[in-house]
Amino acid sequence: MRQQGRPAHELPSFARYLNKVFDFRTAAARLADARRDPDLSPSAVFLATFHGFVFRLPSFQQLAGELAQPALQCWIGAGRAFSDDVLRYSLSGFQVEGLEQLLIDVNRTLKRNKVFDADRVQGRIVAALDGVETLASYSRCCDACLERRVWVRKGGVKVEQVQYYHRAVGCQIVTGPVKTFVALEWLKPGEGEDTAALRLLSKIPAQYGSRFFDILLLDALYAQAPVFRLAAELGWDLVVSLKQNHRELYQSAIRLFARRPADASAVETRAGKSYQIQVWDTEGLPFCADYSQPVRVVRSEETLTQNHYRQGKLEPENTEHEWVWVTTLDRQTFPTMLVRRLGHDRWKLENNGWNDLTQNWGLKHGFLHACRHRPHQEVDGVRAPVPNRGLPAVVLILLLAFTLTAAFVHCHSKLFRLCPSSVIEVAQQLRRSVSNLPLHIRAPDSPAESSI
């Protein structure tokens, strides 16, 4: 009842922000797909999918139901309703390069507007890289599917079965209120996650034209000489988790730290949890035979105290944790405790990136996985379906909606600051505002020749 009298976010305000800051409608008009002389333009399909993700709709079927509203049809420039089959047919042959360039342009604008400056660490912008599995199936597969054999139980008997899945590696900015994704790379059949990560990191300078971030946070999988060489070449500093997979360096550091007391200690209280921390720090350790530059190793022993109910009584419980990181950051500029904080900041990619996208944005829904109904092309006189680009296209549109919605809420909306609410509530307000749109008008700041 209290929220009924509050002002709400409106779709025209959201559109004005996107068009004024990012020239969004003009960029959308340049997108293309593989259809010939389509009745519905690629920009209309893109805007429909984009607004579906902004509204947090869980499926294309529900989006098709929303498109029955004449106001929304007019808003995206469609002129009529269309089904989810039209979305699939267009997006399965969408030009991914145009969507990638749109994401790059959005990120450049955000950096130029100093959106990432709020949480800089010693003046540095921090990014994190990690992989995620988007979907898996035992029946549906496409040409780009990865395969693995897993044991499943059928009729009480364990049998081995082929499972098809997709996995991607993403690089996300973790400083500032907008946790945008810089780039995304899909694993190809027969290659590992580290190979795709190297390919992604190698193309970022060419895409962005300069050093877009300064510090890169990585999982233990990427504690490899090629990653360190590439980072040194591009001017990035690294903070990488170290585990038993890099056995020689790990054991050397543990033996060295066991001989002396901790270099620093602290007590932190956060979110009802208490941390007792002891940290060791040393420089000049050899990384491996393939990388001759010495590295710095930081180890943290942490005792976590938090309350749990046991037989109806609230009792404190202690758990022990150990963390080890290898880093190229110098000790004078980045003290021991700051490196520890950066090491834990990698979890922002899990919480504010993949976890948020999975739980609240439908990342693992599998919108266009194994879509076989797609446009045809002629190659050497033979007509054949175009390569299935549906899943990469949909995920890129999802990332654009994820980034631009966060930018609107955290960098533009006064209502969000004056009347605190969840970002999900903002999405619901934008969706409800469609019913208030007048018919037969063009969207704010859209091209005059558009029918919107």
Of 65, 115, 119, 56, the closest CA to residue 87 belongs to 65
Cα→Cα distances 8→102, 420, 427, Å: 28, 11, 10
Q: What's the pLDDT score for residue 441?
A: 53
Longest dimension (CA), the chain: 76
Residue 340: Cβ within 10 Å count: 22
Stated length of the chain: 452
Q: How far apart are CA 73 and CA 67, in angstroms?
A: 6
Q: How far apart are CA 326 and CA 153, in angstroms?
A: 41
- The amino acid sitting at 44 is A
Six-digit token string for 321: 């944790």
Q: What's the pLDDT score for residue 272?
A: 78
Q: How far apart are CA 5 and CA 335, in angstroms?
A: 50
Q: Tell me: the pLDDT tens digits for 57-69?
A: 988 889 999 999 9
- Which residue is associated with the tokens 């990469």? 392
Q: How far apart are CA 336 and CA 155, in angstroms?
A: 55
**Which stretches in the chain have pLDDT values below 70?**
1-5, 349-350, 368-372, 439-452
Q: What's the pLDDT score for residue 363?
A: 84
- Which residue is associated with the tokens 């009924």? 4
- Please check whether residue 25 is in contact with residue 19, taking contact to mean a CB–CB distance below 8 angstroms: yes
Of 10, 8, 9, 7, the closest CA to residue 75 belongs to 10
- Please check whether residue 145 is in contact with residue 167, taking contact to mean a CB–CB distance below 8 angstroms: no
Q: How far apart are CA 440 and CA 360, in angstroms?
A: 32
Residue 376: Cβ within 10 Å count: 14
CA geometry: angle at 347 spanning 275 and 51, to 5°? Answer: 135
Euclidean distance between the first and the last CA atom of the chain, given in angstroms as a whole number: 35
Q: What's the pLDDT score for residue 382?
A: 78
- The full DSSP string for 348-379 is HHIIIIIHHHHHHS-GGG-TTTT-----EEEE
Q: How far is CA 178 from the centre of its chain?
A: 11
Q: How far apart are CA 264 and CA 81, in angstroms?
A: 64
Q: How far apart are CA 103 and CA 146, in angstroms?
A: 26
Q: Strands 264-270, 273-288: parallel, antiparallel or unpaired by DSSP?
A: antiparallel
Burial (Cβ within 10 Å: 0-12, 13-18, ≥19) of residue 134: buried
Q: What's the pLDDT score for residue 427?
A: 93
H-assigned helices in 209-324: 225-234, 247-258
Q: Strands 376-379, 382-385: parallel, antiparallel or unpaired by DSSP?
A: antiparallel
For residue 162, the surrounding DSSP H or E stretch is strand 157-173
